Amino acid sequence: MGSRRRVNVDTLNVELGTRSYPILIDAGLIGRAEVFRQHLPARDVLVLSNTTVAPLYLPALAASLGGRRIVEVILPDGEAHKTLASAARVLDVLVANRFGRDCAVLALGGGVVGDLAGFAAACYQRGVAFAQVPTTLLAQVDSAVGGKTGVNHPGGKNLIGAFHQPVLVVSDTATLATLPERELRAGLAEVIKYGLICDAALFAWLEEHLDELLARDGAALAHVIRRSCEIKAAVVGRDEREQGERALLNLGHTFGHALESATGYEEWLHGEAVGAGLSMAAAMSRECGLLTGAEAGRIVRLLERAGLPTRIASVTPAAALEHMRIDKKVLGGRLRLVLLRGIGTAYLTADYPPAALERTLAAHCG
Ligand code: NAD
Ligand code: GLY
């Protein structure tokens, strides 16, 4: 498999003992064969991608994977294909090609392809190696890291899944050049989320450099991808299975998921729903006297500048509340929410006045 020259790339590690893995971040990584030679030993590799991403990046990736047996599965684009049927198709191809336990499944694409590839890898022969080559900002800052994999069920999103960590994450920042504008903005919601949860300096940096990010400045994008991955890697390293701290990564998501589900997942991208959810989490924290008006104002202004929604007209407060009650964070009948004690300090609580939630929903829905 060629020379063993070490790869000189910005790398950080998710520390999980024997399951630790590197995240490599740089422009042009897909075309660097030595990255895959060094970090992905499998000789049999199934590449899962979709009809949008594969024509753009699969030829270069296949060249970098040269010398191995490569089998491609190219799915139609879209969340609608993140299903058990698609996972079964991947498993069928693995079986048909007699891939053994030493094979790898590699995801080339956004979170849809990543979640699906990871789930198939978790199931095949009780778990084979899995690599992520994320090509959306959302996947590079969030979904490719941390080992949550899964598919949707008609009864709900991500209802079927497994924790299965990748062995490698290769974030080629150059792929973001072809990402539709709306997808880029949706990914920024997750970056803003990290600042709000635990990094006031990142939040302030975003206030100052948002225009560079929107203009897709390479250095600015690499900076937020690295910082986001550092934060997520540290949280996952401490709480892989979401027994505690990892729930903070869901800031804005309890509101956002409710809005997505109330609108049948058709009105907004996930990141857009998270944007509105962050605005609602900020308003709720203000209602509870935890956040100042000035802080809540800074949050809404940054979301607006990023082109993200901060409220929803098509869902009533009652419908939003009903959808929030089926959230995974309901415990003992009490809905837990991630709230802010300030920009950069999030915490999970079920201890808030129900009227504060009602006022928040009334102000942001309908
Ligand atoms: P996505 O995978 O649907 O990608 C968004 C769109 O961008 C698609 O049309 C895709 O084909 C296209 N695309 C991808 N890369 C491109 C590129 N470089 N150039 C041009 N087009 C490109 O959506 P997403 O936002 O990346 O991911 C959303 C999914 O991630 C959801 O299913 C969500 O549940 C999941 N998710 C998982 C986690 C996790 O921790 N596992 C976290 C957050 C979200
Ligand atoms: N996206 C939230 C998590 O990975 O936990």
Q: Which one is catalytic: 242, 272, 287, 295?
A: 242
> Does 83 sit in the ligand 1 pocket, CB within 6 Å?
no
DSSP state of 327: S
Which spans in 199-292 are helix H? 200-214, 218-238, 253-262, 270-287
Q: How far is the CA of 161 from the centre of ligand 2 (A)?
A: 13
DSSP state of 72: E
Give the whole-angstrom CA distance, residue 334 versus residue 47: 42
- For 59, half-sphere exposure in the C-beta direction (CA atoms, 13 angstrom radius) is 3
- For 348, half-sphere exposure in the C-beta direction (CA atoms, 13 angstrom radius) is 17
Pocket test for ligand 2, best of 165, 190, 229, 246 (most atoms within 8 A of CB): 246
Q: Residue 73: count other Cβ atoms within 10 Å of its Cβ.
A: 21
CATH number of 181-364: 1.20.140.10, 3.40.50.720, 3.40.50.150, 1.20.1090.10?
Answer: 1.20.1090.10
Q: How far is the CA of 151 from the centre of ligand 2 (A)?
A: 15
Collapsed DSSP state (helix, strand, coil) of residue 299? helix
Residue 137 in contact with residue 111, Cβ under 8 Å?
no
Structure confidence at residue 3 (pLDDT): 41
Q: Residue 10: count other Cβ atoms within 10 Å of its Cβ.
A: 14
The number of the ligand 1 atom at minimal distance from the alpha carbon of 150 is 41
Give span(s): CATH 3.40.50.1970, the chain: 2-178
Q: How far is the CA of 38 from the centre of ligand 1 (A)?
A: 26
> Does 114 sit in the ligand 2 pocket, CB within 6 Å?
no
Q: Which one is catalytic: 68, 81, 193, 253?
A: 253
Q: Which one is catalytic: 185, 227, 232, 336?
A: 232
Task: Based on the residue annotation, tell me whether 329 is a catalytic residue of this protein.
Answer: no
Cα first-last separation, the chain: 59
**Distance set, CA 3 to CA 36, 294, 304 (Å):** 12, 56, 49
Nearest to 323 by CA among 151, 160, 196, 157: 157
> Does 193 sit in the ligand 2 pocket, CB within 6 Å?
no
Give span(s): CATH 1.20.1090.10, the chain: 181-364
Q: How far is the CA of 178 from the centre of ligand 1 (A)?
A: 13
**The two structure tokens encoding residue 310:** 């901060």
Q: How far is CA 95 from the centre of its chain?
A: 29
Angle 15-164-129 from CA coordinates, rounded to 5°: 90
**Distance set, CA 21 to CA 12, 15, 168, 169, 229 (Å):** 8, 7, 6, 8, 12
Nearest to 124 by CA among 154, 145, 98: 98
**Distance set, CA 218 to CA 60, 193, 211 (Å):** 20, 21, 12
> Does 142 sit in the ligand 1 pocket, CB within 6 Å?
yes
Q: Percent helix, strand, coil in the chain (nearest 5)?
A: 50, 20, 30
Q: Which one is catalytic: 39, 82, 148, 226?
A: 148
The number of the ligand 1 atom at minimal distance from the alpha carbon of 146 is 40
Closest ligand by atom to 143 CA: 1
Task: Based on the residue annotation, tell me whether 126 is a catalytic residue of this protein.
Answer: yes
Nearest to 303 by CA among 188, 221, 144, 153: 188
Give the whole-angstrom CA distance, residue 326 versus residue 158: 13
> Does 81 sit in the ligand 2 pocket, CB within 6 Å?
no
Query: What backbone torsions phi and psi does residue 19 show, to the nearest 5 degrees?
Result: -105, 20
State the sign of the Cα–Cα–Cα–Cα dihedral 208, 248, 254, 228. positive
Closest ligand by atom to 193 CA: 2
DSSP state of 292: -
Give the whole-angstrom CA distance, residue 274 versus residue 191: 11
> Does 146 sit in the ligand 2 pocket, CB within 6 Å?
yes
Collapsed DSSP state (helix, strand, coil) of residue 314? coil
Give the whole-angstrom CA distance, residue 346 versus residue 248: 7
Structure confidence at residue 2 (pLDDT): 38
Instruction: Look up the pTM and report it.
Output: 0.96
Q: Which residue positions in the chain have pLDDT lower than 50?
A: 1-4
Q: How far is the CA of 364 from the centre of ligand 1 (A)?
A: 26
Give the whole-angstrom CA distance, residue 45 versus residue 71: 6
Q: How far is the CA of 346 from the centre of ligand 2 (A)?
A: 15
**The two structure tokens encoding residue 354:** 């129900």
Ligand 1 atom 28 nearest Cα:
111
Q: How far is the CA of 138 from the centre of ligand 1 (A)?
A: 6
DSSP state of 127: -
Domain 2-178: assigned CATH number: 3.40.50.1970
Ligand 2 atom 3 nearest Cα:
249
Q: Identify any residues that bridge with 131 across adjacent strands, giving them in sequence order.
A: 106, 168
Closest ligand by atom to 329 CA: 2
> Does 197 sit in the ligand 2 pocket, CB within 6 Å?
no
**Distance set, CA 310 to CA 149, 188, 264, 276, 283 (Å):** 28, 14, 19, 4, 10
